A = this chain, B = another copy of it.
């Protein structure tokens, strides 16, 4: 028996329907996240969250329990079909704090105001952040920047799924 916990990676991004290319990229991202040894956490709804969770299910390393959905409502049924573990918080927008607080590292792809708030909160909580620019939106704008001067690092800009996941692994102590 080992008490060491598996590292957790949060994928954050837009919740609305994705264009096919971005959807395929997010599926690839979710698969790579689990195959890299992470458990996946997300906000549990549609768009980037659903595509990444779908990809996680298709990973070679996937085992039941690897995909966590932290929902804004009390309705567990609102989770996408790929979530293994559902936390229906009933907290509305405040659930965004929990998504990033649960993670050892965050990958942001696409996304608007919700994603921007999650990036800002992840920064406040000291979580390393990788921005995958392919999805445009705030991650594309913030990659390579600091949000404020409380931290010495930057949001890491990545241009491919493989690079994003490799950088995420480097940012979690003990993974690489």
Contact = CB atoms under 8 A, between A and B. Distances in A.
Interface residues of A, number: 47
A1 B57 contact: yes
Copies of this chain per assembly: 4
A117 B114 contact: no
A5 B86 contact: yes
Interface stretch (A18-26, A87-95, A157-165): A87-95
Contact of A93 (B8, B63, B116, B124): B124
A87 B70 contact: yes
Contact of A148 (B82, B90, B112): B112
A147 interface: yes
21 contacts: A3-B81, A5-B83, A5-B86, A39-B85, A65-B85, A85-B85, A87-B87, A87-B101, A88-B102, A90-B91, A90-B101, A91-B91, A91-B94, A94-B94, A112-B147, A112-B149, A113-B124, A113-B150, A114-B120, A114-B124, A116-B116
